[in-house]
Structure 1
């Protein structure tokens, strides 16, 4: 029994060491399975002991019946011998019979003593088995109480661990919620930035087209201005070589000069407007590039 308990305790310790790295539910199931195995083992030992006791009781009962039969036969035989001994006469045959019967009587006495000794031994063995069975039952109750206490302690530890895990889970859920909120915020911000970037790219494209158009117009105005200057120089040269024309020619030339001066002033105004528009577009372009670099 002690060896079995030590082995069971060793198995229990090894099982507990294996249970350390497992989940709470698996630990609880293994503990219940181990307790069930211990209970089954105690029940099997109890059944075996009861069967042994029944066999011993049957042997003792048979020995008691046999001893009673022997005692009855001895009493009958002694009664017959006393009857024969009370007679006056004897013969050799009766003496031989008496000797034979006395020998058988001695053998029966020895057998009776042997059976009595065996009966005493069997009764002592029965008492010993009953004590062992009682000890096993008490030991089983003790083991069950110990296992129950261990299970209660483990259950309390597991409940505490589960509470900690639940608290950690709640904290993780709260953290996850905050992370989701931050993610949604930055996602909306990214979407707004993408929309702003798309709008800026569209605006930049429009400004580029406008700048190209202004540059083309500025180039055209510059070309026309250059032509006007050349024409003006030619007019200046003509004026330097001027001779008094006729009145009609003078009037015509004067009108042509006035028209040319008006055209020159108009073109100068166009060039000034184009230059101002070009500078404004360049400033807008620089601002767009700076804002694009910041994003």
Structure 2
């Protein structure tokens, strides 16, 4: 009988069954809530990792495009190499941009930490007040987070647009600077041309004044010549013959004196050389050519029979030369 009673199942009433079912439901709900919480955390972590990977992929793609652009623009055509200064400048710019992105991420992390601290403080405050954090608070926090993410995204888009505008502005500024430099160069060339034309104009004015003076001078000469032509009278035939005979006599006398002068100069040169040889000098003395009449007569009177023929010839040529030029 005992063995038979032990093999029979224990009888459970309806109340106990209800308690067991409610307990099982509560445990299932608790495990389901834990699973949802864990899944939500995993979802958030995976989403953050995906955003980080997308950001890294965009940055790597952007860096690759920039590096390819630098490689194409900076490659030397002769040796197919990139200059070191261009590559260093590119890396410095890339590191600067990376530092800016890190600063943005740091600020975003600080903002998230501040929000998390606020939520933790709110949770602790409600826990101290005996309240529990319900799903509405979480949804409210999620909505605030989404709103903040949208604001951050909008600000990033505005920042990108500002960078594009700044880039376009820099390009326009560079183009305007080049145009301004060209205009300045054109103005300088025009100023130089104006200065040159001004100098040419002054020179032309001076030449015009000189030409005007020459014209006035020629006009005066023309008037004088015209007066001379108007007042000119043909001379008589006898006067013409007489004047021509006088001119012929004058020419004959001139030629005779020229021959005499040539002979005297030749003799003077010859006897001057002889005097230099007699005196033993290389240059003639000026006093030889300034003898007065009484000195010449004294030389002639004082000559001795022992004087050489050359000395007597010199004295005579000096006397003739002095008489010829009186």
Structure with more helix by fraction: 1
Higher RCO by CA contacts (8 Å cutoff, separation 6 or greater): 1
Shorter-chain TM-score bucket reads 0.3 to 0.5
